[in-house]
Amino acid sequence: MKTVTLKPGREKLPLLRHPWIYANAVDSHDNDIAPGEIVRVVTGKDGFIAYGSFNKNSQIIVRLMEWDAAKTVDESWISEKLRASCARRSNLASVTDAVRLVHAESDLLPGLIIDRYNDMVTVGFHTAGMNRFRGIIIRELTDLYTPEGIYERVDTHAAKAEGLTLEEKTLFGTVKETEITEHGKKYSVDVVTGQKTGFYIDQRDNRHIVAEYVSGDVFDGFCYTGGFTVHAAPHATSVTSVDSSGDALDRMRINCEKNGCTGNVSAIEADVFDYLRKSAEDGKMFDTIILDPPKLAPTRQAAPKALRAYKDMHLFAMKCLKPNGILASFSCSGGVPRDDFRTTIAWGAKDAKRDVQVLRVLSQAEDHPVRLSFPEAEYLKGFICRVI
């Protein structure tokens, strides 16, 4: 097996089981290591740290996978880790049939994203290492779930960072639209054309929780296919659901029909920022505002611009909120830490001359776990606030 030797002092995080070795932490490595090949990472004094997959085309040159020197990272190791990850989700069966089965580094399988939507499964192989294990991963998934179809989804940002050229395609069976159930609500999901891998399953519990705070006239900004709308509608007088994607709104109409809530929901194709700004000018007021924008800052570098956008969004929203109205606001930007996002609510409140009480602090669903040695996996932040 080929060896990668770290520079002195750069072993601290990997010894704490952080999975990423940056190229600038490497002192030397053997020649001719193929992309995705499993290597042994050692310290200068030849101390074993871990095994991981190598990729010279990435800033993250090794993704660590196994810290026990006696183990071998091969197909049966992948099978074992995959099955263990799936088994950890078994408690969700009573809540939903749309589950993230593998959340990459958090489940010790770097770059691997697997979502199950009832009889459909999506897989993302976003590292050179995982790409080598496609065959066994697909075989295990067909064996575990006997799905109708398995579809490969590609996060182009992640693939590019790894220097990988990947293509979205059917990997097994017949891929078609499906129906999922989440906290008793039904949703239509298309794993081929849908955003992300089809549905935002990371918001599963937040949709259920936010519904407890909903009343009166509700605004669901960035509604996509109606995840929050469908949960909110039974508690609301009206729901105004806005998204810039006409396709998403078409599917939301289907989802409202499935859940018997077409009566009080209006689907509007518009830019949420523009719509809220105009509503504020027109004096249109809501009792509850839900805001779940797309990733405005994928990286730390993009954060300053994203913070200004979040601030504007919160300012416009508060101008349209009745006294003591509820604001449920989310950020899925990995580049914006939770405290910074909360600060943008405070900035909006200052300019809107409102006081804000934080009622609930929310995060991503438990099938998107954050391993303590890899805090980078935390990306979804949410606050339910009362705006006095």
Q: Give residues in contact with ligand SAH (CB under 6 A).
A: 195, 200, 203, 222-225, 227-228, 242-245, 248, 271-273, 292-294
Q: Judged by CB, which is closer to ligand SAH: 122, or 203?
A: 203
Q: What angle do CA 293, 98, 373 make, to 5 degrees?
A: 70
Nearest to 295 by CA among 264, 325, 333: 333
Q: Judged by CB, which is closer to ligand SAH: 200, or 316?
A: 200
Find all residues with CB under 8 Å of 11, minimum gap 6, and list them: 43, 47, 49
Q: Judged by CB, which is closer to ligand SAH: 52, or 227?
A: 227
171 in Cβ contact with 138 (< 8 Å): yes
Which DSSP string do the residues of 195-235 spell out, in sequence order? STTSS-GGGHHHHHHHHTT--SEEEEET-TTTHHHHHHGGG
Q: How many CB atoms lie within 10 A of CB 367?
A: 24
Residue 86 known to be catalytic: no
Return the percent helix, strand and coil in the chain, to nearest 5. Answer: 35, 30, 35
Cα dist from 355 to 284, 315, 331, 340, 347, whole Å: 20, 12, 21, 18, 11
Q: Judged by CB, which is closer to ligand SAH: 39, or 232?
A: 232
Q: Judged by CB, which is closer to ligand SAH: 129, or 227?
A: 227
Q: Judged by CB, which is closer to ligand SAH: 200, or 213?
A: 200
362 in Cβ contact with 5 (< 8 Å): no
> Residue 373 corresponds to which tokens in the numbers above?
């040695």
* DSSP reduced 3-state for 156: helix
> Residue 296 corresponds to which tokens in the numbers above?
């405005």
Residue 328 Cβ vs ligand SAH, minimum distance, rounded to whole Å = 10
182 burial (CB, 10 Å; 0-12 / 13-18 / 19+) is buried
Taking the C-alpha atoms of residue 318 and residue 350, their distance in angstroms, rounded to an integer, is: 10
Catalytic positions, written as ranges: 332
